[in-house]
Amino acid sequence: MGGVFLPADLERVAASARERADRDGRASAELRDELQRIEHEHEFRPAARRLFEQLLATLGVASSLPIGFPLDDTPYWLRDPHPLGGFRSATELPARADVLIIGAGLTGASAAYHLRDAAAAGRQVVVVDKGDPACEASGRNSGHFEMIPENSVGLYEGLASERFRFLSRCYANVPVEVLHAEAERQASAVLAVTVRNRERMRNIIHGDGIACDFSPRGWLFLAQSEREEQAICDEVLLAAQHGERIELWARHRINEAFSFTTDRLGRFVPGDGSYHPFKYACGLLERARRAGVQLYARVPVKAIRSESDGTHTVVTLEGEISADRVIVATNAFTRDLLPELAAIRPRQSQVMVTEHAPDRTGGRIVTTEYGPAYFSQPRGGLRNGRAPVIFGGGADRPMANPSSRRRSRRIHDQLLGLRDSFFPELTGQPPSAEWVGPMGFTPDQLPAIGWLRPGLIIAAGFNGYGGSYTTAAGEAASVMALGDEAPDWVPQDVFSPTRFLSDTPLFLNEHDSLWRIVGSLCHQLRSVTRQLSDAAPSAPPPPVRRTAAAPRSGEGRAVEVSLADARVLRPFARFDDEELSEVLSLMRAERVPAGAYLFNGGRPVRVVLHHRRGIHQGVRARPRYAAEAHQPHGKCRLRRDELNRAQASLGDLHRGHRSRPARARSKRLRRALRPALAGCSQAARCAERRANRRSSTRGPDARGPGACRSRAGPTADGRRVVAHVSIDSASPSPPSPITAP
């Protein structure tokens, strides 16, 4: 053994090692061996040991000793000098403002950017921050933007299922069928915001030339169980309703793209990815400042008073500012400023960076609920096929003080183990920095975007998904600051912060809320039919045809829909005569000649409820898929003159026939939702899930070599599924046996 290494000895070794490192700062094999020999042959005092470990981390050398916290707790994003540190537009704070933004992180910066035209036109727009811009959560995150905020730890069951879980926990007294319907609607509302957020980010970054290492190369979520596989299949349909593409990746494709193995499918979202959040926020603020927005850093706000004349007084340590409109963009710090929003609770994430990792992600991001774990490799650090890996995960911890910087040893050890499972060549290599960041969490895991009271706008509580929401949230806040209406893509019965002030959900308070739920379901069903009809081949089918025996065309007789007919439909079985009469009054029958084709495969059709006995199903698609999916394919024709159908009348209901049932506001209203949910929505989702799972599980590894796209594109073997979804009065049964003609 050699002598005892002291900090002074380390300084000499470190200086020599840095001179011998390559131009990317990485140790050569010779230098690596020499440093590992020093570690093996010498003893280290605690301070010297930490310095030596930091040297190994910087040079990308593994250690044989237990790895402790790195000396550096500065986030990767904050390594460079701050371009707006201590910046103030003037020596003194203004006495008044038309719009005052509290918080200069990602949300406040977005609001300022979207108010730049108003500032250029003469409006007084002011931004204040208690510290330097973007130095809290906005500079202490993992640098991801994702279309689907998962908001779960443990088993992930899909966005709609997660929404139902949180709604059930918050509103236990609301009927479960209403919660299911609202969960579907909220999932769609969330996706509308996150899709807009991603598009706005892309347009701003490219349009304004903001250099922030933007890498929309895609996001891979790794399923860990069959239930998670089913969940990500559900999300293929949800994304398709918004015209977005999600791919299901098989095991071998994941291995080819990322060089690690998994036992399950993955969900790949093109267009998601990573960016430098600090550079992005500063870029937004700089462009807003050039247009006339005023910025004041290091101005702590102590209180907000709402005055009787409708204005608001913002109390700071340096004086008061009177404002017509105030945007509170303080995320984890919101309850310190507004105690009535104590429901927005601070939690803490922990992230580490390891230098010189193989560029396994290629600019994409990877997440899994195993851990959970999330990681990416920022493009700004890419050198010769290697890049730093930003790795976060473990359970987010509650924190009393969002300014805390205390790191957890348990999370540290967990992150190292997770990192090494994806990057085994990094085993033993110390991270160069590890930091914590505050986040704002809400009880229902949805952000708060809207008015708390007139003129006071909240944009906070992003539940660890600031990259998914903040650009759009800032835009929405700017719209509200300049007008009296919230954007329609931020429905206030879903996102308003006032939902935390009452035990009664907002979506049951407003007159039209339940009918919006019905309309949402009908939109989902129409999307299903469009999506599946898109799968029809554009070219004529091959000459070989297989079909079930055609029925005889007889003279049908026209029949009116009666109460007895309606009760055949299982969801309506428990309705009394009065309730059925009201429902049937909103339906309509269609007269069709006997033997006529109702629709062809590939033609968009309306989702209908029908009596199976009134329709013959001819199969024109691949018989295998028809038999396995248990869904009618291709053409249908009538046996009798009139098809009695409780058809997508709900679609008409939410457009023009609301007034009478809306006045009832009784159990009848909720029960009218039951068939929509129990029949249409569930069956449509199940049908799509089966189609996706079957088309993604073919191939050499029994899971398919290719992606199953949300538009029901080609399956692994090149075939296409031709499908039409109809929701039957009885439980689905397989089509008639198929024989060659």
Q: Which one of 30, 65, 100 terminates a domain?
A: 65
- Whether 681 maps to a domain, the answer reads yes
pLDDT in tens, 474-487: 999 999 999 989 99
Model confidence pLDDT, tens digit, residues 177-222: 778 778 888 888 898 999 999 999 999 999 999 999 999 999 999 9
pLDDT the model gives residue 402: 92
Give 468 or 669, the one with higher predicted confidence.
468
For residue 726, is pLDDT > 70?
no
Q: What is the pLDDT of residue 552?
A: 33
- Residue 521 placed within a domain: yes
Number of H helices, E strands in the chain: 22, 29
pLDDT digits (tens, 9 = 90+) for 657-677: 333 333 334 454 455 444 444
Read off the pLDDT band of 607 (50, 70, 90). Answer: very low
pLDDT > 90 in the chain, percent:
50
pLDDT top residue among 639 and 160: 160
- Whether the pLDDT of residue 710 is over 70: the answer is no
The answer to whether the bond into 542 is cis (omega within 30° of 0) is: no
**151 occurs within a structural domain:** no
Q: In angstroms, rounded to a whole number, what is the distance separating the alpha carbons of residues 231 and 423?
A: 27
- Answer positive or negative: Cα dihedral of 646, 648, 653, 657: negative
User: Is 55 inside any structural domain?
Assistant: yes
Instruction: Give the total number of structural domains in the chain.
Output: 2
Domain closes at, from 36, 65, 94: 65
pLDDT tens digits, 326-348: 999 999 999 999 999 999 999 99
Among the residue ranges 34-43, 565-574, 689-698, the one predicted with the least confidence is 689-698
* Domain assignment of residue 33, given as a range: 4-65
Which conformational region is residue 148 in: left (phi greater than 0), alpha (psi within -120 to 50 degrees), or beta?
beta
d(CA 308, CA 286): 35
Assigned domain for 615 exists: yes
Four-point Cα dihedral 234, 235, 239, 240, nearest 10: -30
Determine, yes or no, domain membership for 91.
Answer: no
- The tens digit of pLDDT for each residue in 424-453 reads 999 999 999 999 999 999 998 899 999 999
Structure tokens at 49: 């040991």
Among the three residues 48, 65, 82, which one is the final residue of a domain in this structure?
A: 65
CA 271 from centre of chain:
13
Q: What is the pLDDT of residues 232-283, one digit of tens each?
A: 877 777 677 667 888 889 888 999 999 988 888 899 999 999 999 999 999 9
Residue 495 within any structural domain of the chain:
no
Question: Among the listed ranges 5-9, 41-45, 390-394, 428-432, which one has the minimum average pLDDT value?
Answer: 5-9
Measured distance CA(124)–CA(301) in Å, rounded: 19
Q: Is residue 71 part of a domain?
A: no
Expressed in angstroms, the distance from the first to the final Cα of the chain is: 87
